[in-house]
Amino acid sequence: MKLTGNTILITGGGSGIGRGLAEAFHALGNTVIIAGRRQQVLDETTAANPGMRSAQLDIESAAAIRAFAAKMAKEYPVLNVVIHNAGIMRPENLLEQPEELTDAEAIITTNLLGPIRLTAALLPQLKKQPEATIMTVSSGLAYLPMAMTPTYCATKAAIHSYSLTLRYQLRRTKIEVLELVPPYVQTELMGDAQASDPRAMPLKDFIAETMKILKEQPEAQEILVERVLPLRYAEKNGDFGKAFQGFNDAMGAGH
């Protein structure tokens, strides 16, 4: 992926990893559009980064995504990069067996259907560009699940699989598919406590290492910072059962 001269759309770009990426790419002189549900958060981010653009998007709505893609094509005809960062993470106790699976359905709609729908809606525009990039955001938890967030982990595993097949199907086009695989990062994904959890990787460090990989390893299809490697390769390393048990015990993931 080239790091300059792009027009980049980042979903969930008003906070956390999305904002960190938006600011890093904006600093390199790219045209950056951040999208999300909360206009106030978008406004705060663009105010802090003059020249950054924003657009409201309800990633759970198929109709809203189609309308949004049409808006992007009209207002940003040279859009050539989309980073699918929007996501939600909620704890679930599977033993409770609730009649309404509200959290699980919202997680699947946001984390999995959202990127699939938005990719489909933007593909005609991306195919027109001289070169383009689709970056998905999975998680180290796609490879070593955290038991307290089962649906979140499942959606991230699905995003990994989707990224592989999307890359293969687009192999004869000028669109590259990258997968960013974050570890546990200090963001507000699971509330304020996560943002200051010493077990989590500082956000600024994660963004800096990610941008370094993008610059120094342009051939990389998976963007893997050092902190995520034990999760990514737990099964390959032959100690998955022990790693899974130890990881979940350490995170207090048992019910």
From 35, 40, 37, select the one nearest 22 (Cα to Cα): 35
Residue 153 sits at the vertex; the CA angle it makes with 141 and 63, to the nearest 5 degrees, is 130
Torsion of CA 153, 100, 93, 11, to 10 degrees: 30
The DSSP code sequence of 211-255 is HHHHHH-TT-SEE--GGGHHHHTTTTTT-HHHHHHHHHHHTT---
Residues contacting residue 164 through CB under 8 Å, at least 6 positions apart: none
Instruction: Say whether 120 sits in a helix, a strand or coil.
Output: helix
Listed in order, strand segments (DSSP E) in 109-183 are: 132-137, 175-180
From 115, 146, 139, 144, select the one nearest 222 (Cα to Cα): 139
Torsion of CA 235, 196, 206, 16, to 10 degrees: 110
Q: Which of 76, 143, 152, 233 is catalytic?
A: 152
> Is 184 known to be catalytic?
no
Residues contacting residue 206 through CB under 8 Å, at least 6 positions apart: 17, 20, 182, 183, 185, 225, 227
Query: How is residue 3 written in tokens?
Result: 């790091």
Query: How is residue 106 written in tokens?
Result: 């919202």
Q: Which residues are catalytic?
A: 152
